[in-house]
Amino acid sequence: MQPISPADCAALIRGSRSIAALTGAGISTAAGIPDFRGPKGLYVTRRYDPEKTFEVRWFRRKPRWFYQFSNDFVAAVKDIQPTFSHRFLAELERAGQLAGIITQNIDMLHQRAGSRNVIELHGSYGSATCMGCGKVFTGLDYAFWQQAMTDSSDAPVVHCSCCDAVLKPDIVFFGEMVNQFDRAEQLVQHCDLLLVLGSSLQVAPASQLPYSCRAPIVVVNRGQVALPPGEERYFVDADLDGYFAQCRERLGMG
């Protein structure tokens, strides 16, 4: 594995004008959001059954499983603030160097940090669709969901205000296609630097995106990453916020 120092990473960033970032759960763990696949994650603790919670067929049959998880998730994350790394990416976008972010996360922290061009492969709680009439609700936030789940006569399951059918947050469930993958692939194909932050690259199809990249790739993640070494592929096993704080210092930002 070829490492890269913060100084050398800063040099790559300084020389780039169309950076793409691919982010996973690791960028949000410092904010207090647990990694589902980490030591205390959903798939290890089994507090919720992953199949019944996130499988779209189960949602159609019994949405209560997902909404019980959502009730706890929203309560836990509604006041969480973006990390240094989230804000650093937003800074690069404002500086005209970052072309866009592709995220596997559903937490909306990139938008809270100020990023505008965010492709949410797995969706988020920012919008929802009625399973009955098909009405789409946009501009939603955690306050909306918390109130709606509390006020529902079928709490915590939220129903459409038009037809009383179940409202489904626009999160990609198992059995559904991810969002805007073609757009994400184009972003990676045309970037001049790809930053992979907090992702082990174990979940398809996001894990395939680095293979479309023709530019240098810098992967910063705690633990192993499912991407083989290659020319201009750099791997850093370090704390994201600490690493990019050093990069930012060397870039002379702020």
CATH code of residue 117: 3.40.50.1220
Q: Is 9 annotated as a binding residue?
A: no
Residue 93 belongs to what domain range?
1-33+82-122+178-254
Q: Please tell me whether residues 135 and 161 are part of one structural domain.
A: yes
Specify the pLDDT at position 35: 66
Q: Are residues 64 and 144 in the same domain?
A: yes
Shared domain for 92 and 55, answered yes or no, is: no
User: Which of 140, 171, 202 delimits the end of a domain?
Assistant: 171
Is 162 annotated to bind ligand? no
Of 28, 182, 38, the closest CA to residue 109 belongs to 28
Are the beta carbons of 228 and 208 closer than 8 angstroms?
Answer: no
Average pLDDT over residues 188-210: 97
Which tokens hold the place of 86?
């989230």
Residue 147: give its domain's CATH number: 3.30.1600.10
Is the pLDDT at 39 greater than 80? The verdict is no
The structure tokens listed for 79 are 């006041």
Domain count, the chain: 2
Mean pLDDT within 131-135: 96
Please indicate whether residue 159 is annotated as part of the active site.
no
Tell me what the pLDDT averaged over the chain comes to. Answer: 93
Which of these, 148, 147, 173, lies nearest to 59 by C-alpha position? 173
Question: What is residue 72's predicted lDDT score, i.e. its pLDDT?
Answer: 87
Same domain, 143 and 215: no
pLDDT of residue 41: 54
The SS3 call for residue 68 is helix
Smallest Cα–Cα separation from 106: which of 82, 126, 80?
Answer: 126
- Find out whether 213 is annotated in a ligand binding site: no
On the question of pLDDT at 238 being above 80, the answer is yes
Asked if the model's pLDDT at residue 180 lies above 50, the reply is yes
The reply to whether 131 and 67 lie within a common domain is yes
Judgement on whether residues 108 and 232 belong to the same structural domain of the protein: yes
Calculate what percentage of the chain has a pLDDT beyond 90. 85
Q: Are residues 223 and 252 in the same domain?
A: yes
Look up tokens 């789940």; give the residue: 149
- DSSP one-letter string for 214-252: -S-EEEE-SS--S----TTEEEE-S-HHHHHHHHHHHHT
The Cα 116–Cα 133 span in angstroms is 30
Residue 254 in this model has a pLDDT that exceeds 90: no
- 16 and 129 part of one domain: no
What's the whole-number mean pLDDT along residues 59-80? Answer: 92
Could you tell me if 132 and 167 lie in one domain? yes
pLDDT tens for each residue of 138-173: 999 999 999 999 999 999 999 999 999 999 999 999
Please pick, among 86, 110, 122, 159, the residue that the annotation labels catalytic.
122
Q: Is 130 flagged in the annotation as binding?
A: yes
What confidence tier does 43 reach under pLDDT thresholds 50, 70, 90? Answer: very low
Q: Which of 171, 202, 233 is the last residue of a domain?
A: 171
Instruction: Kindly report the backbone phi and psi dihedral angles of residue 48, in degrees, each rounded to the nearest multiple of 5, phi listed first.
Output: -120, 145
Residue 43 and residue 145 in one domain: yes
Identify which has the larger pLDDT, 52 or 245: 245
Among the candidates 171, 186, 205, a domain finishes at 171
pLDDT for position 130 = 97
Q: In 3-115, which ranges are E strands?
A: 19-23, 98-103
- Both 96 and 142 in one domain: the answer is no
Let me know whether 163 and 208 are in one domain.
Answer: no
